[in-house]
Chain A
């Protein structure tokens, strides 16, 4: 039994109403990169939280290096050599890099020694990072480096990574993989959680697939195709969105030299953004988070106003119209942040349907709400988009991320927009639901609408967009036909290299 680093035996954890992990057992060997695969809600997060000491299992045992391992809290796990890089970074924006790292250590050295050690480690593993910088000013990729270096400083035996590449450019992903391969060569084991199957086939030695809290299989991902892995996760065959070949029509929406100062502290201002979208076309806008995506969406949705003629819709200037005015002329948007921006968390699905559908679906009359019509509209969304919820009276907050996302997209799609702008339409959504959302967007385009998809998921943009452009530090590259691009070129466009255009 001592040939494996960590073995999990029959781990079970139940929450009221749901069994998050049901008798899960597997082994992680020394110097192995072990993938943990599964849909949203399959129990991956609960499982790694048990290993990291954040959650106590109801039953089952863990053995680390031949000794019983029952971490009661993260610092016990860290002391035993388990490090974790979270999906949503657990960093403190107002503090600098060295302070952030020091908070994650048991016996941190003084600031100057720590800064030196950070520089050492960051050079050794090819992760450039300045210890004096304030974390709030760092990019997502740099923030992840902070977390990784924090773990590496403790020389972990097992490094847990929760969806590490979801916020990185392809080039940053390569750097990260280089680091992980180097760690593996030094004998560190890595437990790697991801949705991205190609990555797992590229990097991992072993994969464990979870479905609805149970282990389905442990396999060698290099011997399986991405499709086989996906079907193991879903437990059914997977529908791949189909794109009908359609001729692009006339220009529906155009932006001309839009400059927009960001309202938020850490936001990015837009700098002379220009593009056109045609009828029946999907325009994909790629780029790493924090390069102006939120600002671009707000300029398109009408939350931020621009000079009147800077935004043109079917030949009319709409730059000075607010969100409701734009909705009524059928320019709709679905922002990235589901809770709090796209939906009001504590209001029911019916009320949420009413909030954006009011004008176009005629859900009010003379200032009075038509609850019957609103209920029918909400029910329609729930049925057509397979939103899993006990009822339309449930609060938006109570839905899982994927289901709420289906609701938010469905709500806009069913209003038959001429222009639909979506930001991160499938962020944190599992494979089957993501496919359904993408199909709905494609179907809408086939009916002649112009679609703008802002996303950090390049596979998604390659799959559904006709034209691709990249957003980098608030500047938008020229649009190019997606079919003519390969991943390297896209990476260069996202990095802001202008000769790619």
Chain B
């Protein structure tokens, strides 16, 4: 066992990369749930985004086009969920679960010829002077573009939800769709937009896994990341900054336990592998223990079917 082999600077730098897929998926799902829709299909949309992005990046040679394709793929799949739940009024839980299964199968089909292929390297953000600062430069700069996109989206979502009228309307729809309808807001349209945004974010999250983090394509490579994203949204009490915290915590423990495995710590691998899931959930549960406050943040119409009756 050689713990000195673990370099803290590299650890923190790779934490940001490891956290990004979950962060992207979770921030998208947060917006969806704030609009009152419970989309359990995050895992399916992530993996669909992962293969869409991977395939397009390989075919065109452009990681950027790949990311766009991933967002589009996730959004299209989420709109399927949207049509089923918002227009055909199907049950959101069952539809979301079906979407996950569908996404897993579809991605396996699309990805058959991409197993073992190497994707084009995604561009890194190399800012000459800043990236050369010791420690900080290594941690904060030189990552792929999606890492910054994730952080930017957290700030943007927080700003949108709390500081803009559009965000207020979206929260209102999630809080009480009947009242929002009575005031003349288009509940279904607003929710469809939120669902598409959530799908695009999940798709990006998937692509950041297949193009940046791993980077290669294997069947079922999301391995439950979508479910962790869902859990993070709930335990973060629907607050963007806590979502960031939860995702980075998960990413951090993931990277740490991989390093520990490599260093040959005498803890069984199974325990190390489960540790990111356990620790993330325990920490977020502790943060949100004040039940009354957490309940206030939950969108009151979450998961309820809206039907505009006269």
Binding site for B on A (CB under 8 A): 15, 46, 49, 53-55, 73-75, 78, 86, 89-95, 99, 102-104, 108, 136, 265
Contact = CB atoms under 8 A, between A and B. Distances in A.
B296 A265 contact: yes
A73 B175 CA distance: 21
B274 interface: no
Interface string B169-201: 101100110111011110000000000000000
30 contacts: A46-B310, A55-B310, A73-B184, A74-B184, A75-B184, A86-B182, A89-B179, A90-B178, A90-B182, A90-B183, A91-B176, A91-B179, A92-B175, A93-B175, A93-B300, A94-B171, A94-B296, A95-B168, A95-B171, A95-B172, A95-B175, A99-B172, A102-B168, A103-B168, A103-B180, A103-B185, A104-B183, A136-B296, A265-B292, A265-B296
B297 A49 contact: no
Contact of A94 (B169, B180, B300, B310): B300
A73 B183 CA distance: 9
B10 interface: no
Contacts of A103: 168-169, 172, 180, 183, 185
Given A92-B179, A93-B176, A265-B292, 12 more contacts: A54-B310, A55-B310, A90-B178, A90-B182, A92-B176, A94-B300, A95-B168, A99-B168, A99-B172, A103-B183, A103-B185, A136-B296
Contacts of B300: 93-94
B90 to A, nearest CB: 18
Contacts of B176: 90-93
B6 interface: no
Contacts of A265: 292, 295-296
Interface residues of B, number: 21
Given A93-B175, A102-B168, A265-B295, A74 B310 contact: no
Nearest to B186: A73
Contacts of B179: 89-92
Nearest to A94: B175
A348 to B, nearest CB: 22
A99 B167 CA distance: 11
Interface of B: 165, 168-169, 171-172, 175-176, 178-180, 182-185, 292, 295-297, 299-300, 310
B297 A94 contact: yes
8 A-B pairs with least C-beta separation: A90-B179, A74-B184, A92-B175, A90-B182, A75-B184, A55-B310, A73-B184, A92-B172
A108 B296 contact: no
Nearest to A103: B172
A110 to B, nearest CB: 10
Contacts of B310: 15, 46, 49, 54-55
A73 B180 CA distance: 13
Contacts of A75: 184
A95 B165 CA distance: 13
Contacts of B171: 92, 94-95
Contacts of A99: 168, 172
A72 B179 CA distance: 18
A15 B310 CA distance: 10
A74 B171 CA distance: 20
A46 B309 CA distance: 12
B279 to A, nearest CB: 30
A78 B182 CA distance: 12
Nearest to A76: B184
Most buried by B among A54, A74, A91, A103: A103
B182 A102 contact: no
A120 B110 CA distance: 62
B170 to A, nearest CB: 11
Contacts of A73: 184
Contacts of A89: 179
A74 B175 CA distance: 20
Nearest to B171: A95
B189 to A, nearest CB: 13
Given A93-B176, A94-B300, A102 B184 contact: no
B3 to A, nearest CB: 47
Contacts of A55: 310
Contacts of B299: 94
B49 to A, nearest CB: 31
Contacts of B183: 74, 90, 103-104
Nearest to B299: A94
Contacts of B180: 92, 103
Nearest to B308: A54
A21 to B, nearest CB: 12
Contact of A74 (B168, B182, B292): B182
Nearest to A71: B184
A99 B185 CA distance: 15
Contacts of A46: 310
A103 B175 CA distance: 12
Contacts of A90: 176, 178-179, 182-183
A49 B183 CA distance: 12
A440 to B, nearest CB: 32
A54 to B, nearest CB: 7
Contacts of A93: 175-176, 300
A430 to B, nearest CB: 21
A5 B183 CA distance: 23
Nearest to A100: B172
